[in-house]
Amino acid sequence: MKLPSHILLMCLALALTWADHHEHHDHHEHQHHEAVLDRCKGLEMDAVTENEEGIPYFFKGDHLFKGFHGKAELSNGSFAELDDHHHLGHVDAAFRMHYEDDPTHHDRIFFFLDTKVFCYYQHKINEGYPKEISEVFPGIPDHLDAAVECPKPDCDEDSVIFFKQDDIYHYNVKTKAVDKKEFHSMPNCTSAFRFMEHYYCFHGHKFSKFDPKTGEVHGRYPKEARDYFMRCSKFSDDSDHLERERCSRVHLDAITSDDEGNIYAFRGHHFISKDTNDTLKSDTIESAFKELHSDVDAVFSYQNHLYMIKDDHLFVYKVGEPHTHLEGYPKPVKEELGIEGPIDAAFVCQDHHIAHIIKGQHIYDVDMSANPRVPTNPRSISVLNRVDAAMCGPHGVTAISGNHFYHFGSVMLMAASKILPEQHRVSLELFGCDH
């Protein structure tokens, strides 16, 4: 059968349209999955928020960075519906609703994309979402730049602060009243973030700390986001290395105090030392411990030596100027301490031969004077979800989790405790950071 010419032309047009669509789709999928983002090269983030465990999520385009280091992953891997409903380009704004007085929305994460708002609880979308922004947050405009939660007493009432160009909207969570303001001293925010009870406005790859009520920015801002909110191996030449390490929001990898009372704290490629006169110094790990290079998992001090654990290996240095790497090391952790890695933290208390090894939520004892060394006396640490670093001194154990540390009078009290002791800030109270 011979088809009329106009039917043939129509079929040809449809075929070309289909082919073009799939070529575009395949190209989009290729871009969607092949894009490589490096936050250490200075990215302007689209949105920042915490998850329910307090881990920061940084959004860029259709990708997501979890925590302060690590590679980008596709956002739809964690929040599938963002892509289902939107063919995800980027998240405009995000915040975590964390108000005890609002049980309906407590611990929910809200995402804003164009005119829509998405609400998640533990990575599952709430029923009925996405919704129009005007339905959930009446009086708040579409196509937002940033958003951040502001609980009492930081704001007069439990609120959310929304940013769109020069306009700032304080949204009262209870009454839904909107108070429109202008923060004259603050730059336009591409994302905003509440972290450790402070408020940060990100603009480009820099940030400013601001007062959520007035928008006032005090101190020397803007600062480089990579110096404080990311763990990068290299920094700009004009970075203040000591201030960066003192004030970084990235958690420590390891910490110890030696027999003289000097403290060594390790983070990524860098470490900070604090002597008995509270004098602080910062340098690269490679400059003082070249065999290690970077990324220490745990450190403990024993008989004027630093025992440094990286992955499955143990390095030993004699304390001095400079520190001396012992011949024959590194050796396998399993061979030297009788325990498999990875190890989260380790410490020895003064005048003792017991190395206390923390792995997950368990603590083990290893007698350093024994041969062979074997882990004994396993106990669980129920009061902390994780321990990033720990050290022991004359007054007990200091356990660091995230940006905070907790003091326990003894190892026994740390293992037996059911109530979390007073929370202290690492940057402020351990290293004297003023911001």
pLDDT in tens, 310-337: 999 999 999 988 899 999 999 999 999 9
* Average of per-residue pLDDT values in the chain: 85
Contact status, residue 374 vs residue 338, Cβ threshold 8 Å = yes
Contact status, residue 168 vs residue 178, Cβ threshold 8 Å = no
DSSP 33: H
Contact status, residue 396 vs residue 356, Cβ threshold 8 Å = no
Q: By C-alpha distance, which of 273, 303, 306 is closest to 292?
A: 306
Task: Label the pairing between strands 63-66 and 73-74.
Answer: antiparallel
Q: Is the pLDDT of residue 9 over 50?
A: no
Query: Any idea which architecture 37-228 has in CATH?
Result: 4 Propeller (2.110)
Place of tokens 């240095």: 317
With cut-offs at 50, 70 and 90, classify the pLDDT of residue 303: very high
Tell me the average pLDDT across 112-117.
Answer: 92
> What does the block give as tokens for 208?
């400013």
Q: Is the pLDDT of residue 401 over 60?
A: yes
Query: Any idea which architecture 247-430 has in CATH?
Result: 4 Propeller (2.110)
Going from the C-alpha of 368 to that of each of 57, 336, 356, 398, the distances in angstroms are: 41, 9, 10, 21
- Spell out the long-range contacts of 400-408 with Cβ–Cβ below 8 A and sequence spacing 24 or more: 400/251, 400/252, 400/255, 400/345, 400/426, 401/251, 402/54, 402/251, 403/196, 403/249, 403/251, 403/427, 405/429, 405/430
DSSP 4: P
Contact status, residue 411 vs residue 363, Cβ threshold 8 Å = yes
Tell me the average pLDDT across 260-282.
Answer: 90
Tell me the average pLDDT across 307-311.
Answer: 95
Going from the C-alpha of 302 to that of each of 177, 264, 297, 309, 338, the distances in angstroms are: 60, 14, 17, 13, 17
Query: What is the DSSP annotation of 280-343?
Result: EEEEEHHHH-TTT-S---EEEEETTEEEEEETTEEEEEE-SSS-EEPTT--EEHHHHHS--S--
pLDDT in tens, 190-228: 999 998 788 999 998 889 999 999 999 988 888 888 888
Query: What is the DSSP annotation of 220-271?
Result: S--EEHHHHSS--S---TT--HHHHHHH--SPPSEEEE-TTS-EEEEETTEE
The residue type found at 419 is: I
Tell me the average pLDDT across 77-85.
Answer: 77
Contact status, residue 66 vs residue 55, Cβ threshold 8 Å = yes
The residue type found at 224 is: E
Tell me the average pLDDT across 368-389.
Answer: 94
Tell me the average pLDDT across 87-113.
Answer: 78
Topology alike, domains 37-228 and 247-430: yes
With cut-offs at 50, 70 and 90, classify the pLDDT of residue 302: very high
Q: Quick one: what percent of the chain has pLDDT higher than 70?
A: 87
DSSP 13: H
Tell me the average pLDDT across 404-408.
Answer: 95
> What does the block give as tokens for 211?
């007062």
Task: Indicate the domain borders of the chain.
Answer: 37-228, 247-430
Q: Which pLDDT value is given to residue 25? A: 39
DSSP-based three-state secondary structure for 142: coil
